Structure 1
Amino acid sequence: MTTLPPFRLEKHFSRWEFTARHHMTASDSETMSMAELLSLADDADREAWERLTLGYTETYGAPALREAIASTYEGLAPEEVLCFAGAEEGLYCAMLALLGPEDHAIVTVPNYQSMETLPVAIAASVNGVALRPENGWQLDIDDVRAALRPNTKLVAVNFPNNPTGATAEPSTFRALAALCAERGIHLFSDEVYRGLERQEDKRLPQAAELFERGVSLNVMSKAYGLPGLRIGWIACRDRTLLQRMEGMKHYLSICNSRPSEVLATIALKSRERILDRNRALCTRNLEELGAFFAEFADIYEWQAPDGGCVGFARYSGADGVEEHCRSLVEESGVLLLPSSLFVSDLLPVTLDRFRVGFGRKNIEAGLDAWRHHLLRKRGVIGASARR
């Protein structure tokens, strides 16, 4: 595999994530304290935590953790789960295990950068399938079918999507799985926002549940709001594939953090309570965000996403979205992600949008700073006004 290109989004976050006063583009849900999480533990997990020793764990993940993860899927066993140090490690290992230099892959655009750059670095060729704003960012199964080649080995999708928050229609997703099954293609499905859908009927089945070559990626970071645990996983009925990915992991993290495995097990056993809390917070924040964009409808175009905790708003100001995002963070401490960070080498990506997040508490403070920034620019309030 050739040298990978710079990770645009992560480089931007390295500069601003922990220095901006208002992180208004966070891609994770509100987290919780250790005390809050441990309060959810049953007697067995509380004892496991108190008796914890800091040794190595199994490369596949602790048995109790894999059992808890398997319980979130229909028809899967713990042996069909492989844990990783976050979702990125799982994605990396999967692409190396699924693709070779003679293969062809298909990925949705826009998407999280590594979902594209890894296949491009590994495979002989890669095609993008566009999620178009004029179509509500929906996946068109005919576009996938038209992109297929005799050597297609992988179709990679992400729903709810990052950065748009769009979710494919369940019937379309099932048709995609059926098409992949018919052609003997692996369907890699990034499902890290599953559980944060606005409506339950928008929640997709998990790829690993649908057929043997369905590969489901998930993590404790996004919908659960526990990124500091660094626990991700891949679920798949193709156990030979899991064995190949285990071999990749031997060169990377080798095993997960033992304390994190116990804490993730506690969270997964209380997943409905955690997800209910995070969905309620997203719902409240979406109302605040919708009212804000309506207040400045002359420069913003906004459609609430189907799920997840990020959306892709349009900016029509004369200065352009790049300058708009730059001035917001440098002058007012409001961090957004311009669409240039989601550009693709495969297909054009609209360059008049930015990613905004709504999964965390205290969104009002960020919106207040954002509003004051706009009003200062318009001369409505003095340049020295600060909030």
Structure 2
Amino acid sequence: MVKIPAFEVEQWMDRYENTPGVLNIAETCCSSISIDQLVQFNSDQQSNAHPLIDFSKPMTYGPIRGSDELRRNIVAMYNEDVDTRTAVAPLSTENVIVTQGAISANHLVFYSLVGPGDHVICVLPTYQQLYSIPESLGAEVSLWKLRPENGYIPDVAELDTSIRDNTKMIVINNPNNPTGATIPKEVLAKIIDIAQKHGIIVLSDEVYRPLFHSLEPGNIPPSALGLGYPKVVVTSSMSKSWALAGIRVGWVASLDASIIETIASARDYTTISVSQLDDQVARYALSASVRPQLLARNISLAKENIQLLEQFIQDHSNVCSWVKPTAGTTAFVQFKDKKGAPVDDEAFCKDVLDKTKVMFLPGSRCFGYGQASSFDGFVRIGYVNETEILRQALEKLGSYLVDNLE
């Protein structure tokens, strides 16, 4: 029997997010939109006269790897990032497999490519799935710790010394959850160079891409797919940056045909196809006439809300601090008591929820992976929800800090 540890983030969310009257700033998706709202982003007014979903279409399993149109729209996003000087080839629909969310995409990558005797290097902090699943499959996992004094940017020198003869995969998360940090292009290129030197697969979870709200256009890194190394595998979904978590659509993409076929073969045991209704919504949202407006809405919301959170951090700088996120939807904030010691973040989260109805996640429990003092006092805050919800939550949290910490 495979032993899988409790998925702390998901269990915390499940336990507390339905608390009556909760002000949920633990949520990691851009404020979710309805289908009625989605069609308002379509710049092609003529197409708005036609239904988004074709209800006359028989509900068969449909295309097993995802519809051609959806995969073409996914490919178009990545090919915008391809460095034509280094890329082995532009991405095609054959390089993409549609999955039930990024969580399924990540699981399939590990299930297909990693096993006993393999060594996996994974950044920390990150989404627990990215290190717990390979470990549950028998791989040895080394954690590549991201440090606030480095802006949570991976130290490539540490990576180089961590490589072993049996290192099978390097796992990164760009932009990062929970810190909101972005790996710059030059650092990303060095990671790829090291992997290529040793023939190691790179899994880049890019579920928060392309929500770059605090970087100048020239500083936005490409997808890891765009740097010319075939053994890069990226995963993403419609949930975070696209505000459509409820349709449960994600994908895996790689230029390596053998990797894609291995994943497709494993997928036969877990998924026949995604819902054809979900596929239609996803391909509509990622179409050329909708995608730019939808992304602009989400980036605008992120820019407005991060200003509120930044002001809150400044106003309470005697008890909290952060490395300001450059992308994504989450921030990793440390709280300290009157003496300057990190708070017990789990007890802190529970007490804040009990007294104010404001909900966020404890860092040491959900991202520390059992390492003592790794992220003591840290909480993850999701700030790209409705602005008024964030405003109310921060007001209540500010009053709590005055009464209990300051």
Instruction: Give yes or no for TM over 0.5.
Output: yes
Is contact 1:128–1:346 with CA below 8 Å preserved after alignment? Answer: no
Q: Aligned equivalents of 2:313 and 2:138: distance in 1?
A: 42
Point out where structure 1 has 5 or more consecutive residues left out of the alignment: 380-387
**TM-superposed deviation, 1:44:** 6.3
1:262 aligns with 2:280: yes
Residue aligning to 2:14: 14
**Paired residue for 1:38?**
39
Equivalent position to 2:396, from 369, 381, 384: 369
Matching of residue 225 in structure 1 with residue 229 in structure 2: no
Amino acid at match of 1:267: A
* Gap change, CA 1:378 and 1:186, over 3 Å in 2: closer
TM-score (norm. length: structure 2): 0.88
- Count of residue pairs brought into register by the alignment: 379
In structure 2, list runs of 5 or more residues that go unmatched: 80-89
1:212·1:237 contact (CA, 8 Å) conserved in 2? yes
1:266-289 residue CA offsets vs partner (Å, 9 max, x unmatched): 111122211111111111111111
Distance in 1 between residues matched to 2:309 and 2:52, nearest whole Å = 41
Contact 1:59 1:246 in 2 (8 A): no
Question: What is the CA–CA distance in structure 2 between the aligned matches of 1:150 and 1:348, rounded to whole Å?
Answer: 31
1:328 is matched with which residue? 352
The C-alpha deviation readout for 1:99-158, integer Å capped at 9, x for no partner, is 121211110011100100011122442211110112111111111111000111100000
- 2:146 counterpart letter in structure 1: L
Counterpart in the other structure of 2:87? none
Find the counterpart in structure 2 of residue 356 from structure 1. Answer: 381
CA distance in 2, matches of 1:54, 1:116: 37
Superposition deviation, residue 320 in structure 1: 2.9
CA offset digits 1:153-195 (Å, max 9, x no partner): 1000001110111111210101111211121111100011111
Distance 1:129 1:347, change over 3 A: farther
Is the CA contact (8 Å cut-off) linking 1:109 and 1:129 kept in structure 2?
A: yes
**Paired residue for 2:252?**
234
Is contact 2:52-2:281 (8 Å) kept?
no
Q: Is the 8 A contact 1:191 1:217 kept in 2?
A: yes
Matching residue's letter, 1:214:
V
Structure 2 Cα separation of the partners of residues 111 and 296 of structure 1: 26
Structure 2 contact 101–249 (Cα < 8 Å) conserved: yes
In 1, Cα distance between equivalents of 2:330 and 2:40: 29
Q: After superposition, give the CA deviation of every residue in 1:79-107 in whole Å (9 maximum; x if it has no partner).
A: 10001000011100100111121211110
Rounded to whole Å, the distance in 2 between the matches of 1:170 and 1:337 is: 30
Q: Indicate the SS of the match to 2:132.
A: helix
Question: In structure 1, what is the Cα distance between the partners aligned to 2:136 and 2:75?
Answer: 32
Aligned pair partner of 1:134 in 131, 138, 149 = 149
TM-score normalised according to structure 1 size: 0.93
Give 1:296's aligned residue: 316
Over aligned residues, Cα RMSD in angstroms?
2.0
Partners of 2:186 and 2:268 lie apart in 1 by 38
In the TM superposition, what whole-angstrom CA distance separates every residue of 1:68-89 from its partner, at most 9, and x where no partner exists?
1111112100110001000011
1:207 is aligned to 224
Structure 1 letter corresponding to 2:207: V
Q: Which moved more, 1:123-132 or 1:275-284?
A: 123-132
Q: Give the drift of 1:40.
A: 4.0
Does the CA-based 8 Å contact 2:39-2:52 persist in structure 1? no
